[in-house]
Amino acid sequence: MLQIYNTLSRSKQVFKPIVPGKVKMYVCGMTVYDFCHIGHARVMIVFDMVVRWLRASGYEVLYVRNITDIDDKIINRAIENGEPISALTNRFIDAMHDDSNELGLMHPDQEPRATDFIKQMQGMIGKLIENELAYQADDGDVNFAVRLLPGYGQLSGKSLDELNAGERVAVGGGKRDPLDFVLWKSAKPEEPADTRWSSPWGEGRPGWHIECSAMSCDLLGEHFDIHGGGADLQFPHHENEIAQSEGALYGKNRKDDDAPFVNYWMHNGHIRVKEEKMSKSLGNFFLIRDVLKSFDPEVIRFFMLKAHYRSPINYGDAQLEEARSGLARIYTALAHVPNMQASNLDPHNPWAKRFAEAMNDDFNTPEAIAVLFDLASEVNRAQGEERQALASILKSLGSSLHFLQRDPTEFLQAGSKDQDGLTPAQIEEQIAARVAAKQAKDFAKADNIRKTLLDQGIVLEDKPGGITEWRRA
């Protein structure tokens, strides 16, 4: 029975979809003004894992991940570049898809762009004004009146007094209260024509928060199962999504038995670099496409999932090398089994049961990966048909996390992409020299060749029939 940690309740809860057997899930996607970094990769990989496990568990999943293609950062970058908004965003949407494909991720079922949902955003803003939860200020902006909505702060656990104490926004010709947030930004004279839309409140563009509320409600309905994103979005973005969505639907008088906007809120942890949060503002971020120049996509995925999705993780080359070595241990077990194929798993198989118990415990991938390591050890110890059967189970379980997708020998011989050292041809030449030395009974030379190769990170394994296989350590 699947349990999910719900940020809203701050506890694990048994997952019960609104419609039995079907799951509607929305994940906050990228703001497309630059290339995606490794922090984006974590969000993409985590919720790719969630969708795969839900589908493997028999659920029919509708997975929506949005694209923010209009906001201040996009406008500023387009002005800097002297190009239209659409040219900038289309270029980086293509780049995002390239990165996603290189990582081997499934595409969302729907990937709405904010600029295609302006009408729906304006409709929701109109409802909020009608429900007396929003107002147009003197500067032309339309703002959400936070203090007028009972229950604001339920997701973050922050009270209005706490929020007010930490707020540093001056109240001037715009907001009535420093806690209020913008729903519709009035266009400024200096802003390009392609950054503004007509509205009942004058020309302008949507605020960031209203974008996700409008897109998710339009595509998934006013009440759906799972909403995900990075931990940094919990407040204020997701808090404001709840306020807008429920405020538009119920007004100020939401009753306790009224359906919530979302049943389960999921947030993945930050990526840290040298114990500091990775961010563009600190200049310590790494682009996905740059990391892929040095590390196999499956290694990046293994690195991300060997930590629990809610935990912060430290990023660095050493951590990725450790992940590569761990994944290589599992591939090594499969390399010993020729012509091995994944099989349809019996859910009552003890390995499958242990794996499922881990994944059903709030997608506990570290424990699931521990099952793979234990099973790999059993494969190494087994012989004959038992080894073949265990290896098949190992590949099947690994595949449910989208691991073990490569030919084992190919993966093990690849090593790190930027790894200096011997080429495959040079290694085979040394192996041939070792064979010749053994035939000449010069065993000291043969041992020396083995040791020299090992010192260079090349492990030799002698097989029956005089065959020698190699892999990178």
pLDDT digits (tens, 9 = 90+) for 382-440: 999 999 999 999 999 999 999 998 999 889 888 655 555 666 767 767 776 787 777 77
- The reply to whether 400 and 457 lie within a common domain is no
CA distances for 443 relative to 155, 429, 460, 464, angstroms: 69, 17, 15, 18
pLDDT in the model for residue 414:
81
Q: What integer best gives the mean pLDDT of the chain? A: 91
Residue 142 and residue 254 in one domain:
yes
Structure tokens at 152: 């604001």
Residue 242: pLDDT over 60: yes
Q: Using the predicted structure, report yes or no on whether residue 280 has a pLDDT greater than 90.
A: no
- Same domain? For 330 and 390 the reply is yes
In a domain, 40, yes or no: yes
Domain closes at, from 252, 272, 292:
272
Q: Which of 33-37, 115-119, 432-436 has the lowest mean pLDDT?
A: 432-436
pLDDT at 220 exceeding the cut of 90: yes
Mean pLDDT of 263-268: 98
User: What per-residue confidence (pLDDT) applies to 169?
Assistant: 47
Q: Are 174 and 228 part of one and the same domain?
A: yes
The pLDDT assigned to 12 comes to 98
Same domain for 120 and 224, yes or no, is yes
Query: With 90 as the cut, is the pLDDT of residue 131 above it?
Result: yes
Same domain, 259 and 112: yes
224 shares a domain with 114: yes
Residue 116 in this model has a pLDDT that exceeds 80: yes
DSSP secondary structure, 190-257, as one string:
TS-GGG-B--TT-SEEE-HHHHHHHHHHHHH-SSEEEEEEEGGGIIIIIHHHHHHHHHHHHTT---TT
For residue 307, being part of any structural domain is answered with no
pLDDT in tens, 314-339: 999 999 999 999 999 999 999 988 77
In a domain, 194, yes or no: yes
197, pLDDT greater than 60: yes
Residue 95 covered by a domain: yes
- Return the CATH number at 44: 3.40.50.620
- The verdict on residue 52 lying in a domain is yes
Find all residues with CB under 8 Å of 190, minimum gap 6, and list them.
none
Q: Do 264 and 226 meet the contact criterion of CB atoms below 8 Å apart?
A: yes
Closest to 3 (Cα-Cα) out of 369, 346, 264: 264
pLDDT digits (tens, 9 = 90+) for 360-382: 999 999 999 999 999 999 999 99
Containing structural domain, residue 344: 317-411
Of 164 and 284, the structure prediction assigns the larger pLDDT to 284
Cα within 13 Å of Cα(406), Cβ side: 18
Within this chain, do residues 194 and 159 fall inside the same structural domain, yes or no? yes
The model's confidence at residue 278, banded by pLDDT at 50, 70 and 90, is confident
Average pLDDT over residues 106-122: 98
| 258 and 338 co-located in one domain | no
244-260 pLDDT per residue, tens: 999 999 999 888 899 99
pLDDT at 121 over 80: yes
Neighbouring residues of 386: CB distance < 8 A, sequence distance ≥ 6:
none
The domain spanning residue 345 has which CATH number?
A: 1.20.120.640
pLDDT digits (tens, 9 = 90+) for 48-75: 999 999 999 999 999 999 999 999 999 9
* Final residue of a structural domain among 243, 272, 301: 272
Residue 369 lies in a domain: yes
Report if residue 261 sits inside a domain: yes
Q: Are 149 and 265 found together in one domain?
A: yes
Counting the structural domains of the chain, the total is 3
Question: In this structure, are 401 and 454 located in the same domain?
Answer: no
Which whole number is the average pLDDT over 143-150? 95
Residue 292 pLDDT exceeds 90? yes
> Does 398 lie in the same domain as 445?
no
CA distance linking residue 106 with residue 110, whole number of Å: 11
Which has more pLDDT, 320 or 341?
320
Is residue 466 domain-resident?
A: yes
